[in-house]
Amino acid sequence: MQTITSREFCQDTSGAKRKALDGPVVITDRGAPSHVLMTWNEYAGLTGCGNIVEALACPEAAGIEFDPPRLDGAFLKPVEF
């Protein structure tokens, strides 16, 4: 498993993505592991979610809170023919 610093990640994101093609990349923050970068296929293999539709249906997605704001009347206009 490869390791890079958060500074290296910010300075060369494309390089980090290339490294992730060979396996997970641990990103450290002040010397401590903080994040892991991996390809979608690796993630899908770990979670069992093969595509974005399946990913949204996975149990992990159930914990994501999403409460979009309601549109007020200013955005709603009758259609003109």
**Separation in Å, CA 34 to CA 15, 30, 60, 67, 74:** 18, 9, 20, 28, 44
- Is 2-63 a domain of CATH 3.40.1620.10? yes
Whether the model clears a pTM of 0.95, i.e. scores above it, the answer is no
Residues 4, 28: Cα–Cα separation, whole Å: 6
Residue 73: pLDDT over 70: no
- Give the pLDDT band of residue 2 (cuts 50, 70, 90): very high
Q: How do residues 29-58 score in pLDDT, each as one tens digit?
A: 999 999 999 998 888 788 777 666 776 777
